[in-house]
Amino acid sequence: MANIGYIQMVRHCNQNCGFCSNPETPFFHNLEQIHQIVDDFVSRDYFGVIMTGGEPTLSPILPEAIAHARANGLHVRMITNGQKLADWDYCKSLADAGLQHVHVSIHSHKHKLEDFLTGTPGSLDWAEKALTNLGKTNITVNINTVINRYNCDHLHENIEWFIQNFPFIRHFVWNNLDPSIGRATSNQYFTARLQDIEVSLSKAMRMLAETGRSFRVERVPLCYMTEFAHCSTETRKIVKSEERIVHFLDNKGTVRQTEWGHLYADVCNVCSLRSICGGLFDRGNAYDPNELSPIFSDPKPIIQRIVQDLQSDPAWRMAKFKNLAAIPAAHQGKSGAQQSVTGGEVSRPGKVQAPTGERLTEMAMDPKRKTDHTARDWTPETAGWHPSDDEDDVDTGLVVPPEPVAIGRVPASRLEVRSGQE
């Protein structure tokens, strides 16, 4: 399996994103602990490791940690806000240590909005310098974007901007906001409705596909990305039977996730994609099951497409998926393990493994730091950013592809109107 593990290097950060899923704690991993974790990933035959945080570049042992993981055969990646990589010498030092791939988190190409989202004036300027520096190394670069209420209307404009300014970036990752953990639990106003995401996300995905780029989307149900269902992170994990281990620097401890379904509504029970769909991410009760609509199309082409992608993925051992027949029957368009509906609205399959607090290794602690999950006491309005504030909008001259047509989808709202008329 092409499994990838995560190590939180530190939990403090040089940004203050309002929806941060892993805000500050006093803990960090020292080099001895990193060695233990890396050895464990290697013994499990994991393909790679992602150094994350907090902001991993604030860990003084990051270069040594990268070198150790690389020397032990792991593909070494990092998720970063890019602030420190704006320094060329530092950027180069990580490349020299063996870093192979970086996910830079950027949520909007609009400077003022990005300042607001990251709680850090000038954050986009630093991130741009980081991308320029990374472009001079042999480290490959992805962009990670958290979909939220304030950027969900211009995800496609972000993509135009990246294509125009950083054409070497070939892969993008969208994570729909997780409203159930970290700072987002206090700042619920960041959560977008699925309906508000759909149009811009569809345009953005089309644009990437038409320019030969790739992408993944996490925590968006397949009924909101039917045309690109094969790019759903959950769907790919389900089809490939992948897992991931995260070493958190908080009371969650070491979490191994082997199941990728979230919550399912009544309508999911008649949906043909139920067995390969992650459903509604609703651990924070922020997303509305009434926004889901069943799909009535064959899931096999989606599965076949994922299998085809594996053939060009050097990380994947092809033996298991040489043809569609090798895919577990549960993923071949059969109903799969349908969950009973409880509470009248959503079923709770219990697939996401609850953190137990157990951990592979101890955490070190910095007494100068404390846990900070507090809400931000400022809003877009008090921060001086307003949705009509478009001075940073850039006309890149690229043509936005037409809106894609959803396949086999009947919006629940339309069904409701019809039944009312009848």
* Interface residue list for ligand SF4 (CB under 6 A): 221-223, 264, 267-268, 271, 273-274, 277, 279-280, 292-295
CB of 355 to ligand SF4, least distance (A): 24
CB of 106 to ligand SF4, least distance (A): 28
CB of 148 to ligand SF4, least distance (A): 20
CB of 275 to ligand SF4, least distance (A): 8
Closer Cβ to ligand SF4, 58 or 277, answer by number: 277
Closer Cβ to ligand SF4, 162 or 287, answer by number: 287
Lookup: tokens for 71: 């020397």
Paired with 174 in beta bridges are 145, 217
CB of 224 to ligand SF4, least distance (A): 8
CB of 294 to ligand SF4, least distance (A): 5
Type of residue numbered 221: P
Which helix H or strand E contains 237, and what residues bound it?
A: helix 233-240
CB of 12 to ligand SF4, least distance (A): 36
Closer Cβ to ligand SF4, 123 or 235, answer by number: 235
Please say whether the beta carbons of 24 and 13 come within 8 A. yes
CB of 409 to ligand SF4, least distance (A): 8
Closer Cβ to ligand SF4, 77 or 274, answer by number: 274
User: Pick from 67, 52, 63, 153: which is nearest to 110 by CA?
Assistant: 153
Closer Cβ to ligand SF4, 182 or 294, answer by number: 294
Please say whether the beta carbons of 71 and 63 come within 8 A. no
Closer Cβ to ligand SF4, 338 or 396, answer by number: 338
Q: What share of the chain is helix, strand, coil (3-state, %, to 5)?
A: 35, 15, 50
Please say whether the beta carbons of 226 and 297 come within 8 A. yes
Closer Cβ to ligand SF4, 142 or 293, answer by number: 293
Distances (CA, A) of 329 to 152, 299, 325: 36, 12, 8
CB of 277 to ligand SF4, least distance (A): 3
CB of 272 to ligand SF4, least distance (A): 8
Which helix H or strand E contains 76, and what residues bound it?
A: strand 75-80
Please say whether the beta carbons of 289 and 280 come within 8 A. yes
The DSSP call for residue 328 is -
The alpha carbons of the chain give a radius of gyration, in whole angstroms, of 21
CB of 225 to ligand SF4, least distance (A): 9
Other C-beta atoms within 10 Å of 197: how many? 25
Helix, strand, or coil here: 59? coil
Closer Cβ to ligand SF4, 253 or 349, answer by number: 349
Closer Cβ to ligand SF4, 355 or 411, answer by number: 411
Distance CA 362, CA 246 (A): 14
Instruction: Decide the pairing of beta strands 140-147 and 101-105.
Output: parallel
Q: What is the DSSP string of 321-355?
A: GSSGGGS-GGGTTS--SPPPPBTTTEE----SPPP
User: Pick from 303, 258, 260, 298: which is nearest to 281 by CA?
Assistant: 260
Closer Cβ to ligand SF4, 65 or 223, answer by number: 223
Closer Cβ to ligand SF4, 124 or 271, answer by number: 271
Helix, strand, or coil here: 247? strand
User: Pick from 44, 41, 110, 43: which is nearest to 77 by CA?
Assistant: 41
Query: Whose structure tokens read 């959803």?
Result: 406
Laid out side by side, the sheet with 48-52 consists of 214-218, 171-176, 140-147, 101-105, 75-80, 48-52, 4-8, 244-247, 254-257
